[in-house]
Amino acid sequence: MVAIAKKEIQDVLSQVASWPAGDRIVLARKILETVVPGPQGLPRGLSAEEVIAQLNVPQPAPDDAACEHILEDELLRKHGG
């Protein structure tokens, strides 16, 4: 482990050492955001809920035969014939 000069930093590290890795990563990101703020005002895109809602289609996925038929149709459309 790297020696740390400031006692406050060492105290914080000691305090969070037993946290789960995910929690420590969240803390590290929050600390980094105080130094280098992320882009402000830029749209982040869809939320996870919005993506899941878009992926939930009201019909079942096609079976293997239907997939083969779709591929054949697309190949014919693309390459002619």
Query: What pLDDT was estimated at residue 42?
Result: 64
Number of domains observed in the structure of the chain: 1
The residue range of the domain holding 73 is 48-79
- pTM beyond 0.85: the answer is no
Whether 39 maps to a domain, the answer reads no
The reported pLDDT for the residue numbered 37 is 65
The predicted structure's pLDDT at residue 39: 64
The confidence score (pLDDT) of residue 44 equals: 74
Neighbours of 3 (CB within 10 A): 5
Assigned domain for 59 exists: yes
Residue 42 in domain: no
Asked if residue 24 belongs to a domain, the reply is no
Residue-wise pLDDT for 14-72, tens only, equals 999 999 999 999 999 888 888 876 666 667 788 888 888 888 878 888 899 999 999 99
pLDDT of residue 63: 93
The three-state DSSP-derived secondary structure of 12-63 is: HHHHHCCCCHHHHHHHHHHHHHHHCCCCCCCCCCCCHHHHHHHHCCCCCCCC
